Structures are given as C-alpha cells and as structure tokens.
Amino acid sequence: MSGPAKITDNAAWKAATPAVSVLIPFLRDDPTELLGLLDEEAASVKGGVEIVVLDDGTKDADLTARLKTLVKGMALPVRLISLSANEGRAVGRNRLASAARGGSLLFLDSDMRPDHRRFLRDWADLVSREDPAVAFGGFSLLQAPNDAKFHVHRAMAAKSECVPYTERAKQPEKYVYTSNLLVRRDVFEAEAFDSGFTGWGWEDVEWAMRVSRRFRVVHLDNAATHMGLDTVEALAGKYEQSAPNFARMADRHPQIVAAYPSYKAAKLLKRLPALPRLRAAMRKAASINWLPVAARAFSLRLYRAALYAEAV
C-alpha cells in the first residue's frame, strides 16, 4: 500500500480555472523536459490548461527535488503528486483524474514530446470548439532516438502505432492509447480504467472498447513523439507482463479481440506441442543483431503471440 500522497502546487495552481487538465504519470522516467516544452505554451492557452503530474513511487529524492523546483517556477498551473509506493498504471490514472479540475482530461505519458509548438493550444481549441467525448491525437517517431538498439521497436511502432488519423478513424477503438488521449470528464466518470489490469499493457485498449460502445471516439492530427523506445530485451519483458492483461481483455470483449491478428496468431500457435521451445527460439531470433530488422520484428511479434497463446 502507498502511504499518504505528498502534494506540491505552484503559485498559479490555486486560482486557475482550466478547461483542460494534462495528466502525466511517471515511474522512474524524468518528465522535466516534457514539462518545460508544455510550459512554453502557457501564454497561448491563457489559463485554460493545467498540469497534474504523478510520481508513481519512483523513490528518487534528487529527481523529486528537481521536479519541485521546476514546478514552482512554471507559468502553467501545476500540481505534483508524489507517492511512496507504486500503484500501477490504471489506479494511477484514476488518481490523476481525481486531482484534475478541467472538464476534459488529456492523458500524456512522460516520455512523449509534442511535435509542434501549438500542441496544447490545438487541444484547448478542440475542446472549446467541439468538446469531444474522446479524442486521440496520434503518435509519431519524429523525434525518437535512432540508435541501432532501438531499430526493432522503431519498426514495430511505425507499423502498428504511428498510423495516420484517417486510418485510425476506420477502427476508432483499436487505436487508442493513454499517451496523447483526451477524455471528457463525464465520459471518464462513466467509464474509468479497470484497476484489475496490472503491470504493462492493454488497459487503455480495453477501456476504449467499453467507451466506444457509448461515446464517439474522434481521431485527429495533433501528434506527439513516443521517445521511450525499448531494446528487444526490454520490450520482450513488457510482453511477458502483458499476457494476463491480454487474456482479461479477450475474456471481456471476445468478438472484438477475435479479429485481432495477435489473437488469431495466438490461437494457431496454441496448437503446437513444442511451443515453449519455439517461443524461446523466437525471442532469441529477435535479439540477433545481424538478422534484418524486419525479420527480428516478425520474430518478436511471434514471441508475443506465443506468450498470449498460453493465456487465452
């Protein structure tokens, strides 16, 4: 259990009446660069945007001290919530929403970077003009590192996540991630994130499946770069965490998930008697640097499906 949350507000927080609350959870990542970029837009949003940052149990005294100093000097209204123990992604986002005061909540991960200097203003203008129930701005890799160790993740993200808004709109519930996601408060209160999802993965997609049955999901071109590319080893570890979450989602939304390529592949792989040995070979192949990046990415996708085969 986490102890009492420690709250740090800056001078602009108390009197602010924001329309949009930007909610930024982090665990061990350093959100200072993102906060600095967002604060550059303070004048253009004219008090209509606030930021709530959640340290979900990082336990880094130096980082906390630097964040407090930064927050206190920001022009945007900012609240920093520091937890002594990790609560998890779903619970953390619910906590952020409870602290927010805006009518619309913009979920933004700490490893995202806006791709232009109208990012907050475009979100605020959209809320003022249309007040959408749910809107997703999109991912890009425009500013992401291009180190060789990230090439596999870059290739996978470019194919499955960095999708033009016109294509995302064709399957609106599928392309929803809690990085760069705007949710109107009444929608979030009607459909909160399921705290039964633990670890990494799928809680945002499952949430979108529920929400899309009741509310319209809008897709637009207001992208931010996902800076947090992973090595093959780190990404494989996240896939291992995500298998129970995938099974939970499949159990709750069988008709939607049945159409997913990862589910179809998992069902096919489930029939193989030597799957544990094959799964190990898939992970090993994804880590072989001299193989083509496309082949390594395919092996890693197969590894993920093989993990899911035991869960579904």
Whether the pLDDT of residue 1 is over 50: the answer is no
- Total domains in the chain come to 2
The model's pLDDT over 282-299, given as tens digits with 9 standing for 90+, comes to: 999 999 999 999 999 999
For the residues 201-221, what does the mean pLDDT come to? 90
Whether the pLDDT of residue 2 is over 70: the answer is no
Mark whether 124 and 237 lie in a shared domain. Answer: no
Whether the pLDDT of residue 68 is over 50: the answer is yes
End residue of a domain, out of 214, 229, 244 = 229
For the residues 106-118, what does the mean pLDDT come to? 94
Whether the pLDDT of residue 272 is over 60: the answer is yes
Could you tell me if residue 306 is inside a domain? yes
Domain range spanning residue 238? Answer: 232-312
Return mean pLDDT, the chain.
92
Q: How many Cβ atoms are within 10 Å of 148's Cβ, its own excluded?
A: 9
Mark whether 138 and 109 lie in a shared domain. Answer: yes
Q: Three-state SS string across the chain, please?
A: CCCCCEEEECCCCCCCCCCEEEEEEECCCCCHHHHHHHHCCHHHHCCCEEEEEEEECCCCHHHHHHHHHHHHCCCCCEEEEEECCCCCHHHHHHHHHHHCCCCEEEECCCCEEECCCCHHHHHHHHHHHCCCCEEECCEECCCCCCCHHHHHHHHHHHHHCCCCHHHHCCCCCCCCCCCCEEEEHHHHHHCCCCCCCCCCCCHHHHHHHHHHCCCCEEECCCCEEECCCCCHHHHHHHHHHHHHHHHHHHHHCHHHHCCCHHHHHHHHHCCCCCHHHHHHHHHHHHCCCCCCHHHHHHHHHHHHHHHHHCCC
Q: What percentage of the chain exceeds 70 in pLDDT?
A: 99
Predicted model pTM: 0.88
End residue of a domain, out of 229, 250, 284 = 229
Top pLDDT among 102 and 94 is at: 102
Band (pLDDT 50/70/90 cuts) for residue 198 is confident
Q: What pLDDT shows up at residue 3?
A: 64
Please give the single-letter amino acid code of residue 63.
Answer: L
Could you tell me if residue 116 is inside a domain? yes
| CB-CB contact of 10 with 93 (8 Å) | no
The alpha carbons of the chain give a radius of gyration, in whole angstroms, of: 20
The model's pLDDT over 243-256, given as tens digits with 9 standing for 90+, comes to: 999 999 999 899 98
